[in-house]
Amino acid sequence: MAISAGMVKELRERTGAGMMDCKKALSETNGDVEKAIEVLRERGLAAAAKKAGRIAAEGLVVTYIAEDKKSGALVEVNCETDFVSANDEFSAFAANVAKQVALSNAATVEELVEEKFIADEAVTVKEGLTNLIAKLGENMTIRRFTKFVADKGIAQSYIHAAGKIGVLVELTSEGDAEALSAVAKDVAMHVAASNPLFLDSSQVDAETLEKEKEIYRVQALNEGKPANIVEKMVEGRIKKYYKESCLIEQVFVKNPDYTITSYLNEKSKEIGSPISVARFVRYERGEGIEKKEENFAEEVQRQMQQGK
């Protein structure tokens, strides 16, 4: 019996298994969808769909930098537990996704997962993920990614705490790529530690700025300061806010005698070419995901019952 694309689509939707696995199961059962579901269940390949609703807040933040340092990618791939985060197959999958992002023109995760997977071109990224979910027994998601392509300069990255925090930085300069790489690494490490919200004061949006000003006005009035000097105090506190929140104004974590601006100025003289930070992005694993707190003993007991 000929296996149609519609039959494969139906089986994929009902089981969450990969396209090639669905097609193979249908061929083996002569197109009988119900029997094909049984085949996939027996092989553990229909498990992914059942896991899709479970919270995935663990995982890895992974980076990839091209050999010429002209492009780089930052990716967050999530799973449910730190046990799977440390799994070699999960780590390899995340690393391959980061490389795929660097080589891809995809603008969204939805576009990315429909591409042929560089680690196995017989499947899409989505199918590769589904197969891994079935194999390792946890829900997993490719949550987000950022790609930088340097026009004049380099891209560089830094990973902290075995994938808990990842940073991607782009420097603009005509200096030597290797020398720039060391500077960029320092900046990326600083971003990981200090978590700046903006590159410079020009990037602070009007809404955020007005909100901060209002907070400082209320603070000053609550301190009993005269109304005629409150605005001057607000102005001073906004300058402090810039120093705390804007990357180029922050005190350099590796050497408090420098700000990031003065550090870059010194390195510019050493390299013989002006250096500036074009952009940066920082991911912290699971940030913004509401994580369900569970009793460990109850979790073990539930898994034992599911295994019966």
Residue 9 sits in the same domain as residue 122: no
Q: Looking up tokens 């694993």, which residue turns up?
A: 285
20 inside domain: yes
Task: Taking residues 57-67, report their average pLDDT.
Answer: 96
Instruction: Give the amino acid at 21.
Output: D
Q: How confident is the model at residue 65 (pLDDT cuts 50, 70, 90)?
A: very high
25 inside domain: yes
- pLDDT averaged over the chain? 90
236 inside domain: no
Residue 39 sits in the same domain as residue 181: no
- Strand 153-160 and strand 116-117: the pairing is unpaired
Residue 152 sits in the same domain as residue 288: yes
Q: How far apart are CA 98 and CA 154, in angstroms?
A: 17
- Written as six digits, the tokens of 223 are 């301190």
Comparison of pLDDT for 134 and 72, the residue scoring more: 72
**Confidence at residue 39, expressed as pLDDT on a 0 to 100 scale:** 83
Residue 74 sits in the same domain as residue 152: yes
Residue 300 has pLDDT above 60, yes or no: no
Residue 40 sits in the same domain as residue 63: no
What is the CATH classification number for the domain harbouring 101? 3.30.479.20
Residue 38 sits in the same domain as residue 127: no
Comparison of pLDDT for 47 and 65, the residue scoring more: 65
Look up the pTM and report it. Answer: 0.78
261 inside domain: no
266 inside domain: no
**Confidence at residue 237, expressed as pLDDT on a 0 to 100 scale:** 94
Residue 67 sits in the same domain as residue 183: yes
% of residues, the chain, pLDDT over 90? 71
33 inside domain: yes
- Helix-helix angle 19-28:5-15, to 10 degrees: 110
Task: Taking residues 142-168, report their average pLDDT.
Answer: 96
Q: What is the pLDDT of residues 157-215, one digit of tens each?
A: 999 999 999 999 999 999 999 999 999 999 999 999 999 999 999 999 999 999 999 99
Residue 39 sits in the same domain as residue 150: no
Residue 72 belongs to what domain range?
Answer: 58-199+277-304
Task: Taking residues 118-122, report their average pLDDT.
Answer: 94
Residue 182 sits in the same domain as residue 290: yes
What is the CATH classification number for the domain harbouring 14? 1.10.8.10
CA distances from 170 to 156, 223, 289 (A): 6, 43, 27
CA distances from 94 to 64, 117, 256 (A): 10, 12, 35
**Confidence at residue 128, expressed as pLDDT on a 0 to 100 scale:** 95
Q: Which of 156, 189, 186 lies closest to 172, judged by CA?
A: 156
71 inside domain: yes
Residue 104 sits in the same domain as residue 187: yes
**What's the total number of domains in the chain?**
2
85 inside domain: yes
Residue 70 sits in the same domain as residue 125: yes
Residue 187 sits in the same domain as residue 117: yes
